[in-house]
Amino acid sequence: MKTNSVERKYVMPGDVVIEGDHNPIANVIKSGNKIISTKIGMAEIAYNGVRVIPLNGTYIPRIDDVVIGKVADMNGFAWEVDINSWFFGILTGSAVFGRQFSSSRDSMKSQFNKGECMIAKILSFDRTRDPLISVSGPGLCKIKEGEIAYITSSKIPRVIGKKGAMIKLIEENTGCRMTIGQNGAILLKGTDEARTKARNAIKLIGNQAHTSDLNDKVISLISK
Spatial contact of 139 and 119, defined as CB atoms under 8 Å apart: yes
What's the Cα-to-Cα distance from 86 to each of 56, 81, 160, 212, rounded to whole Å?
Answer: 11, 11, 24, 31
The domains of the chain, with CATH numbers, are: 3-54 (2.40.50.100), 66-143 (2.40.50.140), 147-222 (3.30.1370.10)
Spatial contact of 53 and 60, defined as CB atoms under 8 Å apart: no
Please report, in tens digits, the pLDDT of each residue of the chain (224 residues total): 444 567 888 899 999 999 999 999 989 999 999 999 998 888 889 888 998 877 666 799 999 999 999 999 999 999 999 999 988 999 999 999 999 999 899 999 999 999 999 999 999 998 888 999 999 999 999 999 999 999 999 999 999 999 999 999 999 999 999 999 999 999 999 999 999 999 999 999 999 988 889 999 999 999 88
